[in-house]
Amino acid sequence: MALPNKEKYEQKKIDNLLQYLRLYHEKGQPIDYEILVDGFKAVRRTSDPDMFTMFENFVTADTRSIEVLLFTGSSNNNEKRIFYFGEAQKEGLSGVDVKNIVDEEVQRKLREKEFETLKDENKKLQQHIADLESEVEELERQNARLELKQSPLNNFLGDIGSSLVESFIKRNPKLMAAFPGGEALAGLLQSNNEEPLEEQTQESEVSFKPKTSSSSASLSDEEQAAIQFVNQLKSQFSKDEFEKVLNILQTLADDKSKIELILNHVNNK
């Protein structure tokens, strides 16, 4: 809201305002106005120039000022012209105009503070989103590494069976070379075990579901050799027998001194 224009009362100035309103009214562009005498609405808002002089009925010897408000279109925005009698009135903080100015300034400060608060919250949210995206990327990388480490035996033996066979094969690579496909399987399992011990320990507790059959088309030559070896091994035994064989292999892997004992026992028969 613009500051009011204050000037000493002169009849000529009042007449000029009335002439201004009449000209625009005749041009088909009427201007709304309002006239207050010492704060009293002597002429309520109107665009009729003929009502302008009605304010004179309320002017007395004690009248201090006359306010003419010229409105902009149909809004409440207006230009205020104040004509005072006698000495110029001192500025104070009790006038309506000063109150409006203070209120507008307070609202402006509140809007600025709210805008800054929203900017800070948006910045924090953007950073949180970026952190989450980084965590997702890291988890995807870890999952990819763990999938690479997954044993090719899991699809055929399950987690427990594959663990027993792997342990035996890794500890006895020369012995496995005597079986068809055994050497390739030992090499494959060894390559999957080349990551640092610390990382293996951290990830050893993570369990995986067996890969679906749709991934078989992408198996490498070594993985196919491993599958061939396991199939040949399984075909020689029933399910219960195969589980016992796995337990025997694990026992031999844990205590290699028993290998000669079993061989001697088999040869004697």
Identify the pLDDT of residue 232. 78
Distances (CA, A) of 13 to 34, 40, 105, 191: 16, 21, 32, 101
**Average pLDDT for residues 225-251, to the nearest whole number?**
80
Q: ∠ CA 75-12-54 to the nearest 5 degrees?
A: 55
The pLDDT of residue 195: 47
Compute the mean pLDDT over every residue in the chain, rounded to the nearest whole number. 77
Q: Given the structure tokens 């562009």, which residue do they identify?
A: 29
| Distance, C-alpha 195 to centroid of its chain | 35
Same domain, 20 and 71: yes
Report residue 29's pLDDT band, with 50, 70 and 90 as the boundaries.
very high
The total number of structural domains that make up the chain: 3
Helix (H) or strand (E) holding 69, with range, is strand 65-71
- SS3 assignment, position 187: helix
**Are 163 and 144 in a shared domain?**
no
- Same domain as 264, residue 156: yes
What integer pLDDT is reported at residue 251 of this predicted model? 85
Its domain, for residue 27, covers 5-90
What residue type is 118 in one-letter code? L
**Exposure class string for 132-167: b at 16+ Cβ within 10 A, else e:** eeeeeeeeeeeeeeeeebbbbbbbbbeeebbbbbbb
Pair 233, 176: CB distance under 8 Å = no
Same domain, 185 and 120: no
